[in-house]
Structures are given as structure tokens and as C-alpha cells.
Homo-oligomer: A and B are copies of this chain.
């Protein structure tokens, strides 16, 4: 609120009916809590904070690529010092957020309150321990982008500028959190990348090495998608689900495999839409704007033309 603290021209006698608005907003909150069985929820914040998660991720990325995405005054002499200090602060802050998620999930499920510290520590320790591996994967992603784009001048330009690289950095961190029991934090990380790049990868998606998304705006990759190695994707590609089956009560069924499997060495051009649990065989090329709801063999070359021919 600090920025709102300037002197206002408002006639200070103006009455915004504050008491009434405050009272009605309280009523709305109470109704919501009653509707969701949270009337016994007393106390403070029980959800992770977007702001803190963003800071943690920024710090971790700086520690993973210190000389390129870390602070501009860093030198080779102090790289390790920076990495160690930054990671410790980031992991400790992450621990608090993981605890908030675990407690919140238990509360939401109606479980008896218990101490989730051990589980939270394990999640954070695994996250830290995976960072060198993630860095290794990301180096391969960067090389894939450099090789896959004729406009790329250097691997450094790729790391600094390409939204597809930003998206995969965030995804590999988010997927680690997702896989070890912090799916809400994972989703918050994914959405930070989505907002910055227009690339929407669900943290549950499994993505192989050497993955490259060019341009990227409008890409959607669903929760249960499985992507092999050396896959290249262009803007506005969707790897989505078909219409969702509803159960008898009319509620959508949740959690089953419903997104495509894309095997190794596939290229999917801009605007292609692939829906459902289909398999795109390895070494296939899916053309721009193609609409595909069935599996294709390895080494297929699918284009709008080829699709339109078939029904005629």
C-alpha cells in the first residue's frame, strides 16, 4: 500500500460508506467459509504466498545460472559463495511454503492436524539435491534451442532471451515439486512462467531432454502429457484433453491420463492441436494448424492437406 500513501485531492469529508462495505464484505467471506466448511478455521494465513514463491524461484534460478541470471556484480571468485548463501535462504523460505501447502491440504481433506515437518523437509531436501541434475538437463535444452532456431546467434542469447527457455526452466523446477508432493506450489511456479511467456505447461507434464518451444505464446501442455527427447514445438500448439467425461453426478472425472504421448524427435508446428490420450510416433512431423485426435505412426508427416484429403 506504500505507493498509495501520497496526498490525495479528495475532499476528506467524503464518506465512502466504509463501515457498510466492510460489513458486507465480511458477510460475503463468512458465507463462503460456511459453504466450504471452514467455519472452524481460526487464525492466520493457511495458503502459500505467490510473492514469496516467486522470490524463491528467482533466487534458485540465479543460483543455477549464477554468472548469467544471477546478480550483475557476481564474479567467478565468489560464484560458490553466492550459490551457497542464496540456496540456503531460498530453501529455508521454500520450507515454510511447503509446510503451508501440506497443512492446507490436510485441513481441506478434513484430516486431523499433524506435524508435516518431516515430509516438508524431505520435499525441500530433494528439491535442492535435484538442482545439479536440472541444470544439466537445462544445458541440453539450451543447446536444442540454439540448434533449432536459425535466428539464434549464441547459446547465451538463447538463455537470456528465449521465452521457451524460461518456460522449461520453470517447468523443470515445478515438475520436481509436483512429483514430490507439493502440487499447489508447483502450479504457482508454472503460472508465473505462463504469465511471463504465454506458455502454459501443467507441472504434471513429463518432458524429456532437449525440449525446445519456439515463440511459444499460446502453447498449452496438459497435466498427463508425456513428451520424449529432442521434441520441438512452436507457438499455439495444444497438447490437450478431449471433452471431459462426467461421472453420474455430472461432475468431471479427475486425475486419469487424458493428454497425448509425444515420442522422441517429433516436431509440432505452430497452431497444431492434439487432443486426448493419443500417441505421436517418434520422428513424426505434425504440420501447422493440424487438428489431431488420433494416434499416428512413427515417422509420420501430418499436414492440413493430408488430413483434408482423407475425408474427401
Contact = CB atoms under 8 A, between A and B. Distances in A.
B291 A289 contact: yes
Contacts of A5: 71-73, 89
A131 B25 contact: yes
A251 to B, nearest CB: 7
Contacts of A2: 1-2
B151 A163 contact: no
A248 interface: no
A296 interface: no
This chain's copy number in the assembly: 6
A157 B4 CA distance: 23
Interface string A15-56: 111111110111111011001100001111111111110011
A12 to B, nearest CB: 3
A271 B235 CA distance: 12
Contacts of A190: 161
Contacts of A285: 243
A97 to B, nearest CB: 9
Nearest to A121: B14
A149 B194 CA distance: 17
Nearest to A270: B238
Contacts of A132: 21, 24-25, 27-28
- Per DSSP, chain A at the interface is helix
Given A108-B156, A198-B218, A149 B252 contact: yes
Interface string A134-169: 011001000000011111111111001111000000
A196 B198 contact: no
A160 B93 CA distance: 19
Interface string A49-91: 1111001100100011011100111111111111111111111
Contacts of A19: 84
A125 B77 contact: no
B108 A154 contact: yes
A79 B4 contact: no
A262 interface: no
A110 interface: no
Q: Which 9 A-B pairs have the closest CB atoms?
A: A12-B43, A6-B6, A81-B84, A12-B44, A24-B132, A78-B88, A81-B85, A150-B254, A8-B92
